[in-house]
Amino acid sequence: MKAATYQKYGTPDVLSISDLPKPEPAPNEILVKIHYTTVTSGDVRLRASDFPAIVWLPARLIFGVFKPKKQVLGHEFSGVIEEVGPDVSKFKVGDEVIGTTTMLPMGSYAEYVKVPESWKSGVIHSRPKSLGFKEAAALPIGSMTALFLLEKAKLSSNKTALIYGASGGVGTAAVQIAKIMAESVSAVCSMRNVEMVRELGASSVMNYVDDEYLTTNERYDVIFDAVGKMKKSSAKQLLKPGGKIVSVNTMTAESDKHIRQIAKWAEEGKITPVIDKEYKLEDVPDAHRYVDTGRKKGNVVIKVFDT
Ligand SMILES: NC(=O)c1ccc[n+]([C@@H]2O[C@H](COP(=O)([O-])OP(=O)(O)OC[C@H]3O[C@@H](n4cnc5c(N)ncnc54)[C@H](OP(=O)(O)O)[C@@H]3O)[C@@H](O)[C@H]2O)c1
């Protein structure tokens, strides 16, 4: 099968197309023919070994000291089940699914991926029928990260939320989820993304350039830094007494409970992943070049098989 692989850390040029053996599922595993995968900011970080100084050494120990342990990147996918191991009971051949590859030995920049039916770090779930394979591939990571952190901040229907960095993969999901959970949602992004963020459900949208948003008189119960670039002092300035600040710069976890909730909201038409650009598998280096700019709006997807 075709896969985009990398053997050393570096620029997008380290990625190339290779021929790998098609994975053979173990008794508890599922083989998925991938239709779409995504390029997340996590993928480009792993490719470049671009970890914050404080976690650089532990990250290299986990992901490979001299070269990457995992040669196929890609953290989320949509596709169709092609084979199931004899111990698999919840899924069958032909099921259309979405999922993640978190902590598995191989990612989803490939024609096929095998995943356990259930495991601690990642998820697999049936594809919400309201979304095509393209949008569905981009549902798990951004939405589960946003839901995890908004729940951690105890956002509820009598509280107001501010989403900082509302135009990225996590931010666009966070605005839509906060709209469901909160009394009202405000957002911060650059002027060029204001219209998109408003359409996602933010009642007020402010500009982050030159710290313009700090001139607001509003105060919020929950402030979610969805891009990891908000100064703590700025967040504190805009927080109501007793409010909570959460950031993508903290550990999150995936769970079946969260993917079920996300998929349900997607089915109800309450969440739709924003797709910025689409590339082919052989153009994964170009997709990484684009995500490296730090300017993506929502998600970048990779088409693997035609549907
Ligand atoms: N904890 C976790 O489990 C987890 C999961 C996923 C992601 N993350 C982390 O979360 C961060 C965001 O990920 P992502 O995929 O959402 O990022 P992304 O999509 O690559 O973010 C790009 C967006 O951020 C906006 N942006 C850039 N600088 C900004 C600033 N200073 N203030 C406000 N907005 C800014 C850009 O808008 P403009 O072009 O208008 O500037 C662009 O739309 C990354 O650091 C990633 O590693 C963590």
For residue 122, what are the contacts with CB-CB under 8 A and spacing of at least 6? 99, 100, 101, 102, 103, 104, 115, 254
**Atom nearest to 169 CA in ligand 1:** 16
Is 38 near ligand 1, meaning CB less than 6 Å away?
no
Give residue 108 CA to ligand 1 midpoint distance, Å: 21
Q: Please indicate, yes or no, whether residues 157 and 118 belong to a single structural domain of this protein.
A: no
Site to probe by mutation for ligand 1, drawn from 38, 40, 41, 246 as the one with most ligand atoms within 8 Å of Cβ, is 41
- State which ligand 1 atom lies nearest to the alpha carbon of 250: 1
Ligand 1 pocket, residue 49 CB under 6 Å: no
Please report the pLDDT score of residue 52 as a whole number. Answer: 84
Predicted confidence band of residue 307 (pLDDT cuts 50, 70, 90): low
In a domain, 254, yes or no: no
Span 11-44, pLDDT tens digits: 999 999 999 999 999 999 999 999 999 999 999 9
Q: Whose CA is nearest to atom 3 of ligand 1?
A: 252
Cα 171 to ligand 1 centroid, rounded to whole Å = 7
Tens digits of residue pLDDT in 142-181:
999 999 999 999 999 999 999 999 999 999 999 999 999 9
Q: Which class for 40: exposed (0-12), middle (13-18), buried (19 or more C-beta within 10 A)?
A: buried
In a domain, 221, yes or no: yes
Number of domains in the chain: 2
Q: How many CA atoms lie within 13 A of 41 on its CB side?
A: 18
Asked if residue 25 is part of any domain, the answer here is yes
pLDDT in the model for residue 45: 96
Lowest mean pLDDT among 46-60, 151-165, 209-223, 280-294: 46-60
Examine residue 27 and state whether it is found in any structural domain, yes or no: yes
Query: Does residue 152 share a domain with residue 125?
Result: no
Contact criterion met (CB below 8 Å) for 224 and 146: yes
Range of the domain at 33: 2-139+273-303
Query: pLDDT tens, 94-131?
Result: 999 999 999 999 999 999 999 999 999 999 999 999 99
Q: Is 10 in the pocket of ligand 1 (CB under 6 A)?
A: no
Flag whether pLDDT at 240 surpasses 80: yes
Residue 56 maps to which CATH number? 3.90.180.10
Position 252 in a domain: no
What is the per-residue pLDDT across 74-83, written as a single tens digit (0 to 9) for each?
999 999 999 9
Average pLDDT, the chain: 97
Q: Do 76 and 15 share a domain, yes or no?
A: yes
Answer yes or no: is 112 within a domain.
yes
Q: Are residues 166 and 284 in the same domain?
A: no
Cβ of 40 below 6 Å from ligand 1: yes
Query: Is 266 inside any structural domain?
Result: no
Residue 307 vs residue 245, higher pLDDT = 245
Cβ–ligand 1 distance for 280 under 6 Å, the answer: no
Residues 155 and 207 placed together within one structural domain of the fold = yes
Where residue 197 sits, what CATH number does that domain have? 3.40.50.720
**Domain closes at, from 247, 263, 292:** 247
In sequence order, the 6+-apart residues with CB closer than 8 A to the CB of 279 are 39, 286, 287, 300, 301, 302, 303
Determine whether the shortest distance from the Cβ of 190 to ligand 1 is under 6 A: yes
Do 120 and 184 lie in one domain? The reply is no
Distance CA 230, CA 237 (A): 12
| Same domain? 167 vs 132 | no
The answer to whether the CB of 231 is under 6 A from ligand 1 is no
What's the pLDDT at 54? 85
Same domain, 62 and 182: no
Establish if 259 belongs to a structural domain.
Answer: no
Contact, 303 vs 36, CB < 8 A? yes
Residues 56 and 152 both lie in one domain: no
State the distance from the centre of ligand 1 to the C-alpha of 40, rounded, in angstroms. 10
Q: What's the CA-to-centroid distance between 167 and ligand 1, angstroms?
A: 8
Q: Are residues 107 and 175 both part of a single domain?
A: no
With a 6 A CB cut-off, is 108 part of the ligand 1 pocket?
no
Are 16 and 116 within one domain? Answer: yes
Are 9 and 127 in the same domain? yes
Q: Cβ of 232: how many Cβ atoms within 10 Å?
A: 10
Q: How far is the CA of 65 from the centre of ligand 1 (A)?
A: 26
Q: Does 227 contact ligand 1 (Cβ within 6 A)?
A: yes
In whole angstroms, how large is the CA radius of gyration of the chain?
Answer: 19
CA of 197 to the centre of ligand 1 (A): 14
